[in-house]
Amino acid sequence: MQVKEILRVKGNTLFTVTPDTRLSDCVITMAEHDVGSLVVMEKGAVAGIVTFREVIATLAKRQIEHRTGPTPPISEIYVREVMNPSPARAGLNMEVDALRKLMLENHQRYLPVVDGETLCGVISFHDVAKAVLEEQSFENKMLKGYIRDWPIEESN
C-alpha cells in the first residue's frame, strides 16, 4: 500500500498557517477541526509543521519560565518561534512500511506529503494504523472466502 492510497481514502483536506500566525490561533484551529497538526506554508512552499507537541512544549516552557518572572501571553507567540522547520516528508509513492519507519525514526506523528514541492496532504500515525487495519481486514475476508470455497474431496 502506498501513501497516495491512504490519502485517497482519508481525503486531502489541509489546514495550513504561515510563520506569522499566532500560536493561540493555531490552538483554536486545531481544536475546531480536531486536527493534531498544521502545515506551515511560506511563499507557496512547506516551511515547517506545528503539532500539538510543539504547542504543549511551548506551554510547558512558559509555565517554567513564569516561575522566575513574567512571560508574554500566548497571543504574542508566533508559529515561526515554535514550529518544526524541517519535518520529514513523505512522497506519494512511498510504501507504508517505509512511511512507518520514517515516522518512527524521526519521532513524528504527522508528516507532510509532497509531490516535488507541491503539498498534497498530511498523513498521521492514526491514518497509517487505520489503513493497515482495513487492508488486513480485507485480506482476511478474502482468505476466508477462498478457504470456504475450497473444493472438498469426498472419501470412498
Tally Cβ neighbours within 10 Å of residue 81: 11
pLDDT band for position 27 (cuts 50, 70, 90): very high
CATH number of the CATH domain containing 123: 3.10.580.10
* pLDDT given at position 21: 98
- Range with the lowest mean pLDDT among 38-47, 109-118, 144-153? 144-153
Read off the pTM: 0.81
The reply to whether 153 falls in a domain is no
Residue 138 has pLDDT above 70, yes or no: no
Q: Provide the terminal-to-terminal Cα distance of the chain, rounded to the nearest Å.
A: 46
Calpha distance 77→69 (Å, rounded): 17
Residue 63 has pLDDT above 90, yes or no: no
The reply to whether 156 falls in a domain is no
The partner residues of 80 in beta bridges, in order of sequence, read: none
The reply to whether 52 falls in a domain is yes
* pLDDT given at position 145: 66
Decide which of 80 and 150 is more confident: 80
Instruction: Give the H/E segment covering residue 55.
Output: helix 52-66
Decide which of 140 and 30 is more confident: 30
The tally of domains found in the chain comes to: 1
Would strands 45-51 and 90-91 be described as parallel, antiparallel, or unpaired?
unpaired
User: What domain range includes position 20?
Assistant: 3-148
Eight-class DSSP state of 22 = B
Would strands 37-42 and 16-17 be described as parallel, antiparallel, or unpaired?
parallel
The reply to whether 155 falls in a domain is no
DSSP E strands, the chain: 16-17, 37-42, 45-51, 90-91, 110-115, 118-124
The reply to whether 138 falls in a domain is yes
| Cell representation of residue 51 | 503539532
* pLDDT given at position 64: 86
Does residue 82 sit in helix, strand or coil?
helix
Q: How many CA atoms lie within 13 A of 98 on its CB side?
A: 11
* pLDDT given at position 31: 97
Most confidently modeled of 53-62, 82-91, 133-142? Answer: 82-91
Q: For residue range 75-134, what is the model confidence (pLDDT) as tens digits? A: 899 999 999 999 999 999 999 999 999 999 999 999 999 999 899 999 999 899 888 777
Calpha distance 156→149 (Å, rounded): 21
The reply to whether 130 falls in a domain is yes
Task: Fill in the amino acid letter for 59.
Answer: L
